[in-house]
Structure 1
Amino acid sequence: MTALAGVAGQPIAHSLSPLIHGAWIEAAGLDAEYRAFAPADETEFAALVADGRAGVLRGLNVTAPFKATALALADEVSETARLCGSANLLVFDEGRVRADSTDGEGLMAALAEQAPQLDVEGRPVVILGAGGAARAAAAALKAAGAGVGVLNRTPARAEALASDLGVRAVGPEAVADARLVVSALSGPPEIDVEALRSDAVLMDMTYRPLLTPFLAAGRSRGLATVDGLAMLIGQARPSFRALFGVEPPPVDVRALALAALGETS
């Protein structure tokens, strides 16, 4: 029986996850399929999870706006997902639903790949945003020993995140000392790149466009940058292992994704 998994979100047509997982499935020779699901609302998403409980699906990656709902519908929740307050991975096993978050692992993989010179242990880092992706970043970077500060336009949200994860809420002045600045925002951050230290690393979780205005401003100053596509692929690897029980084969999925995006590097 073909193992069926996929990614659920709304909208979802833009997702590169089916391309990435599909390439790994083909290279591994699996009898499996990974497709995009577009539930219209939480009721339809819950129905999709019910299909998983019934054995129709092996598992789901989950993206906006269903990450919090995914966590709420799970029977078992990893500590990482609990800290994030959301889940981007559901695995179905004999009628039960396990929830996890691989976003933090993806972030750390992206940093290791594109900023290998960066050691965050004992260093100040600032995360821009206070949503689920920011929580995943904060949890992962704190676990790596970084001094994590959270900056958000609504200070109360930053303070709530900081209280939950044992990190700090900071003001705009904190970016001047940061060794790493991570944007977990949906739009361009209002950050003066000229105020950053000369060895700062900038990361943007967005990958459309690949070179965001934030990263472009950093590059113009000669700063190291880390893009959202590296994080997407980084979080997909542990998801693939959880969904299909094998390691992702050595396929250049970044090249495939860049081609799909119309990018060259």
Structure 2
Amino acid sequence: MAKAFIVGHPVKHSRSPLIHGHWLEAHGLEGSYERIDVAPVDFGDFLKSFPARGFAGGNVTLPHKEAAFTLVQRRTQRAERVGAVNTLWVEDGVLWGDNTDVLGFMAHLDASLGTGWEQDVDTALVLGAGGAARAVVAGLQDRPLKRIFVANRTLSKAEDLVRDLRRHSPVALETSAWEALGRVIPHAQLIVNTTSLGMAGQPPLALDPSRAPPRAAVADIVYVPLQTPLLAAAAAQGLRTVDGLGMLLHQAVSGFQRWFGVTPEVTADLRALIVADIEGKA
């Protein structure tokens, strides 16, 4: 029986066990997927010991993604670009790491906006410069955009992101000061929030989507609440919106396939299951 996990600190609020449990049941597979809380000081020992405990691999969440990047033996090209690992597996005795947040965000963007959405987008604006922003930028770099602006409240972090990722794509990658967002928004046909602003319990994101171009798309990787104030304001302007839940669902697909040998689908039933859990605990 294949076993997988999600490791973090804390990890009790993770919805990944719901996702993978749904797929295990849907495909009639014997297997398990469990939460494991590991403090940062113990994370290195955990990585060495989990195969002997019968686990095929697992997911990594905060605060361990950067440590996992450093400690795995081999990394995919995606993980190398992003500088963080969220998916682990053992292959021929070697511990591998991948970053499926890239796949998750782009798959959800494609599903939400439709194939060929890039034809309407020359310029994208990404808010934030953490690990999620790096995954989003890496995904967007592989599409035929002309420019990607990265804005962060601490400009130096945006500059670090641009420096690290610029060499991977011909798409122009530039920074924007947070105070200068008003000059960038009118040119951005795609705006993506990767910060925690607007999340339940966090300050709101002070951004006015009414200044965005007509038919612009606004995405938010926050999924609690499912409709953030940013998405509500964008919808009120008639803009297309992309919520954060789909990224969580789609990023889980490739890990499940590696551990359990079946490629699952992100279905309406799965989404409804997670939405019900979010609403029940909001």
Identify whether the pair has TM-score above 0.5, normalized to the shorter chain.
Answer: yes
Cα drift, residue 186 of structure 1: 1.2
Tell me the equivalent position of 1:230: 246
Q: What percentage of aligned pairs have identical amino acids?
A: 37
User: How far apart, in 1, do the equivalents of 2:37 and 2:176 lie?
Assistant: 37
2:59 match: secondary structure: strand
**In the alignment, is residue 243 of structure 1 matched against residue 259 of structure 2?**
yes
Equivalent residue for 1:64?
A: 62
Q: Given residue 73 of structure 2, which amino acid in structure 1 is its aligned partner?
A: D
- Shift in CA distance, 118/209, structure 1 to aligned 2, threshold 3 Å: farther
Say if 1:118 and 1:151 are closer, same or farther in 2 by CA, change over 3 A: farther
One-letter code aligned to 1:49: L
Give a deviation string over 1:164-209, Cα, whole Å, max 9, x none.
1112212412122111111110123331222111211111111111
Contact 2:51 2:57 in 1 (8 A): no
SS of the residue aligned with 1:80?
A: helix
Q: Say if 1:60 and 1:117 are closer, same or farther in 2 by CA, change over 3 A.
A: closer
Say whether the 8 Å CA contact 1:91–1:98 is kept in structure 2.
Answer: yes
Partners of 1:22 and 1:7 lie apart in 2 by: 12
Match of 2:276 in 1: 259
Are the aligned partners of 1:55 and 1:95 in contact in 2 as well (CA < 8 Å)? Answer: no
Note the C-alpha offset of 1:93.
Answer: 3.0
Pair 1:151–1:51, CA change in 2 (3 A): same
Structure 2 CA distance for aligned equivalents of residues 162 and 86 of structure 1: 16
- Match of residue 170 from structure 2: none
In structure 2, the partner of 1:174 is 184
CA contact (8 A) 2:2 2:259 kept: no
User: 1:102 Cα deviation (Å)?
Assistant: 0.6
Alignment counterpart, residue 202 of structure 1, candidates 215, 218, 222: 218
SS in 2 for 1:216: helix
Taking structure 1 as the reference length, the TM-score comes to 0.93
- Stretches of structure 2 lacking an aligned partner (at least 5 in a row): 167-172, 199-204
RMSD over aligned Cα atoms: 1.7
For residues 49 and 223 of structure 2, the distance between their equivalents in structure 1, rounded to whole angstroms, comes to 31
Q: Is the 8 A contact 1:107 1:137 kept in 2?
A: yes
Distance across 1 between alignment mates of 2:211 and 2:232: 15
Q: Which sections of structure 1, spanning at least 5 residues, go unmatched?
A: none
1:27 touches 1:249 (CA, 8 Å); kept in 2? no
Stretch deviating more after TM superposition (112-121 or 131-140): 112-121
Query: In the alignment, what sits opposite 2:151?
Result: 151
**Structure 1 outlier segments of 4+, above 4 Å:** none
Q: How does 1:71-110 map to 2 (within 5 A)?
A: 71-110=69-108
For the residues of structure 2 that align with 1:236 and 1:115, how far apart are their CA atoms? 20
Does structure 1 conserve the Cα–Cα contact (< 8 Å) formed by 2:128 and 2:194? yes
- Residue range with higher mean Cα deviation, 123-132 or 23-32: 23-32
Q: Is the 8 A contact 1:218 1:225 kept in 2?
A: yes
The amino acid of 1:67's aligned partner reads K
Distance 1:176 1:36 in 2: 43
The residue that corresponds to 2:196 in the other structure is 186
The equivalent of 1:127 in structure 2 is 126
Q: Which amino acid aligns with 2:151?
A: L
In the other structure, the counterpart of 1:43 is 41
